[in-house]
Amino acid sequence: MNSVLRALVLAAALFAGAALAQGYPAKPVRIIVPYPPGGGTDVVARAIAQKFQESTGQAMVVDNRPGASELIGTEAAAKAAPDGYTMLLTTNAYSINASLLPKLPYDSANGFIPVTLLATAPFAFVVNPQVPVKTMQELAALARAQPGRLNYASLGSGSPHQMAMEYFKKLAGIDIVGIPYKGLAPALTAGIAGEVQVVVTGLTAGLAQVRAGKLRALAVTTSKPSTAAPELPTVADSGFPGYDLYAWYGVLLPAGTPTDIVAKLNAELVKALNAPDIKERFKGVGVDTAPMTPAAFADFMREDLQLWTRIVKLVDAKPE
């Protein structure tokens, strides 16, 4: 192919991409959420979906694909057509899986295009009210007195919630046994019923149960208290310095999606996140909106991968 022909092909491709973006979205858009309904990820997705429809006139359909610590939903998104009509709402688990698992059913490095970070939120350690502890130090003391007898709700190997607990166990030198659940909603239900003593929950999903007295919160995992629950201390301030983890929610598109569509979707999502009612709604449940450019989100994900690679090594995590 000579240089003139190559230039013509490139120009045609750019024109086609621009034309697609001008008419985008022309039909409903699917957002795959790799968790069951009811958790923080689902709450964020449905709030964004409502704003997207108000702005574009097209529905954003939330497609819950739970299981295997995001692997099922992420694989489905990776196999979708790169046309902007299927996106993935992912979390820290994307980085953890890349750090933990020797083989993935998708290309974590090149299989997706970052669109934007949506929001961040603390995790919270919560216990069944019958557990006789009110602080993280008391939880650690109880676990030391009863090694292997306390249990916690695990959302599967590589889930951010499980890794947050394993990191705490390492710092505290304790043994608490993980019991697997398919999502945060059933994990919280198990905590309320007393099937497990401890749950690491997104503050978004757990705060209502705490305020209803069905669970007791001990601490949040971020370095600073949450504005939604300022009465809760941090894990670091509870005697475990250096502990600083949080949940994040972001959107990816399958590799090969035209750059103009990536840019247009980024603009729509940033617009939704900057809406005053979304900011206020998220703030009330402990979530901070955090829109970014695609390039900034790519940098963020690289740094997050480095963080979780260190933690996976520290806790000597193994795939289940």
Determine the Cα angle at 108 with ends 106 and 109, to 5°. 130
Q: Which CATH number fits domain 122-238: 3.40.190.10, 3.40.50.620, 3.30.2130.10, 3.30.380.10?
A: 3.40.190.10
Query: What values do phi and psi take at 17, rounded to 5?
Result: -65, -40
Does the pLDDT at position 246 exceed 80? yes
* Residue 183, SS3 per DSSP: coil
- The model's pLDDT over 256-304, given as tens digits with 9 standing for 90+, comes to 999 999 999 999 999 999 999 999 999 887 899 999 999 999 999 999 9
Tokens 């022909």 belong to which residue? Answer: 5
Locate CATH 3.40.190.150 in the chain: 3-120+247-314
Band the pLDDT of 158: cuts 50, 70, 90: confident
Q: What is the mean pLDDT of the chain?
A: 92
Kindly state the tokens that stand for 203: 């503050």
- Architecture, CATH, for domain 3-120+247-314: 3-Layer(aba) Sandwich (3.40)
Does the pLDDT at position 7 exceed 90? no
pLDDT at 152: 98
**Count of CB atoms within 10 A of residue 29's CB?**
22
- The model's pLDDT over 92-115, given as tens digits with 9 standing for 90+, comes to 999 999 999 999 999 999 999 999
153-179: average pLDDT: 92
- The reported pTM is 0.86
Locate CATH 3.40.190.10 in the chain: 122-238
Type of residue numbered 12: A
pLDDT at 154: 87
Does the pLDDT at position 159 exceed 90? no
- The model's pLDDT over 217-238, given as tens digits with 9 standing for 90+, comes to 999 999 999 988 999 999 999 9
204-213: average pLDDT: 90
In contact, 286 and 275? CB cutoff 8 Å: no
Determine the Cα angle at 278 with ends 153 and 263, to 5°. 95
- Cα–Cα distance list, 243 to 115, 157, 310, 311 (Å): 29, 20, 13, 11
